[in-house]
Copies of this chain bind each other. A is one copy, B any other.
Amino acid sequence: MLRLLTVLCCAAPLVWAADATRPNIVVVFCDDLGYGDLGCFGHPSIATPNLDQMAAEGQKWTEFYVAACVCTPSRAALQTGRYPIRNGMCSSKRRVLFPDSKGGLPASEVTIAEVLKSNGYATHAIGKWHLGHLPQYLPTSHGYDSYFGIPYSNDMDALASAPKGRAKFNDPKPEYFNVPLMRDEKIVERPANQHTITKRFTQEAVRLIRQEKGNPFFIYLAHNLPHVPLFVSENFTDVSHRGLYGDVIEEIDWSVGQILSTLRAEGLEENTLVVFTSDNGPWRVFRQQGGSSGLLRDGKGSTWEGGMREPTIFWWPGKVKPGVVMDMGSTLDLLPTFASISGSKAPADRTMDGYDLSPRLFGSGPSPRTEMYYYHGEECYAVRSGAFKAHFQTKTSYVGQKQAEVHDPPLLYHLGHDPGEEYNVAAHHADVIERLRGLKKRHEESVEAVENQLIRR
């Protein structure tokens, strides 16, 4: 009888999850994807037909930010809608969590999953977490019903027997990197076979969409790639003009296609918001194994635009008004936006840094976000307000520059006229600089001291 039901459902999918007030939500989050790495964001030799189509049907946001230029703090911001300085999830001493870390996202923080779960959503996390790998910090301790993934970066736990330094990335093998693959709180495979990791994360997402189609659901699918070491499954070996890095992106593009076609097949596409973005800019020090920021300056690890502006797409047929959006948005805004569109309650007992983007998504008004603070570790290096961005400190990513350079007066760029941050216009806009300086001061005054989680070992 169950089999018969399944057959019937597959033949003519029933829209039994049409809960108009609680749409499903899927976030696809990449790791170290560059602003310029998708076809629809201008890459000439990486083919991303599914993402291009998703952008054409939905909204392509060209000025969408993460709240930190490296992994752990960026992810903390997405989950909580708060700058990571507020919850101890950023550090100038240790940029991210490592396998020897004892810290993680504090239990007192409220995640997207908790917000939605309290409103009846099924919640699932897949892929990279990187907000603490000890049990009390895992997704299942932060509002997710299930977790399947590698709890930190895929280059961690490199074995002493692996080739030294960069050599292990040049012809990477899964056995060089002894990273665990977990199901909920248990390690189920170690080292994780990273060749099939994108495929398996995708299969898990597809399975969960089918499993949960009777409930409102939230799926957070955070690919471990294209962070180095780069791996693809057999079907995506040597498919891209861009080489191995392109193969990886093209497998992620395939994955997005699988998600969207599953939503369509299940009749859920008009009741599901899908968001695609990444955690920080490309890791350019890895050369051809790292991505490209397109015309933006620098990449991962810097507060130049290439480090923190992400290629972002919102998709919800019939609801999200198709087009290119040049308003500002941020992963900080996902929590309040999801709360808004689902009638869920965002935390009211703490400082939140996000905005509800739904007016812009649905075409009723502009994005309420008009400012962005660019963090490097625990310090706010730059501030954007409207089109202007002031850099009070700068540091190029990973290579060369050991100490940040302090700028007084700050460097000032008009990001509309000059998205590549080439032409400092500070000399002509003393008033703008004073305004940005004031914003920075007030923002910093709003930050309360908390225990740092990244330096705990």
Give A47-90 as 1s and 0s: 1 = Cβ < 8 Å from B's Cβ atoms: 10100100010000011000000000000000000000000000
**CB atoms of A423 and B243 under 8 A apart:** no
Q: Tell me which of B287, B294, B326, B419 contacts A423 (CB under 8 A).
A: B287
A295 to chain B, nearest CB (A): 5
Query: In whole angstroms, what is the CA distance A326 to B415 when docked?
Result: 30
- A42 sits at the interface (CB 8 A): yes
A55 to chain B, nearest CB (A): 9
Query: In whole angstroms, what is the CA distance A373 to B414 when docked?
Result: 38
**CB atoms of B36 and A292 under 8 A apart:** no
Q: Tell me which of B243, B287, B295 contacts A295 (CB under 8 A).
A: B295
Residue of B nearest to A305 (CB): B44
Interface size counted on chain A using CB atoms at 8 A: 41
List of B residues within 8 angstroms of A246 by Cβ: 416-417
Interface centre among A43, A295, A414 (most CB of B within 10 A): A295
- A387 sits at the interface (CB 8 A): yes
Query: In whole angstroms, what is the CA distance A431 to B53 when docked?
Result: 40
**CB atoms of A416 and B39 under 8 A apart:** no
Query: In whole angstroms, what is the CA distance A419 to B44 when docked?
Result: 7
**CB atoms of B42 and A241 under 8 A apart:** no
- A360 sits at the interface (CB 8 A): no
List of B residues within 8 angstroms of A422 by Cβ: 287
List of B residues within 8 angstroms of A15 by Cβ: none
Residue of B nearest to A42 (CB): B42
Residue of B nearest to A243 (CB): B417
Query: In whole angstroms, what is the CA distance A62 to B294 when docked?
Result: 14
Question: How many chain copies?
Answer: 2
**CB atoms of B43 and A417 under 8 A apart:** no
Contacts of A257-305 to chain B: CB distance below 8 A = 287-288, 292-296
Query: In whole angstroms, what is the CA distance A414 to B240 when docked?
Result: 13
Query: In whole angstroms, what is the CA distance A387 to B243 when docked?
Result: 11
Query: In whole angstroms, what is the CA distance A418 to B44 when docked?
Result: 10
Give A17-46 as 1s and 0s: 1 = Cβ < 8 Å from B's Cβ atoms: 000000000000000000010011111110
**CB atoms of A288 and B418 under 8 A apart:** yes
**CB atoms of A36 and B326 under 8 A apart:** no
Give A304-316 as 1s and 0s: 1 = Cβ < 8 Å from B's Cβ atoms: 0000010000000
Give A407-429 as 1s and 0s: 1 = Cβ < 8 Å from B's Cβ atoms: 00000001111111011000000
Given contacts A295-B43, A295-B292, contact A416 B243 (CB under 8 A): yes
Query: In whole angstroms, what is the CA distance A415 to B324 when docked?
Result: 28
Closest 4 pairs (CB-CB, A-B)? A42-B42, A44-B62, A241-B416, A243-B417
Spell out A's residues near B (CB within 8 Å): 36, 39-45, 47, 49, 52, 56, 62-63, 240-243, 245-246, 287-288, 292-296, 309, 323-324, 326, 387, 414-420, 422-423
Q: 7 interchain pairs (CB within 8 A)?
A: A40-B40, A42-B43, A44-B295, A45-B62, A45-B417, A52-B324, A287-B422
Given contacts A40-B40, A41-B42, 16 further A-B contacts (CB under 8 A): A36-B295, A44-B63, A44-B296, A44-B419, A49-B323, A52-B324, A241-B326, A243-B414, A287-B422, A287-B423, A288-B417, A292-B419, A293-B295, A294-B294, A294-B295, A295-B295
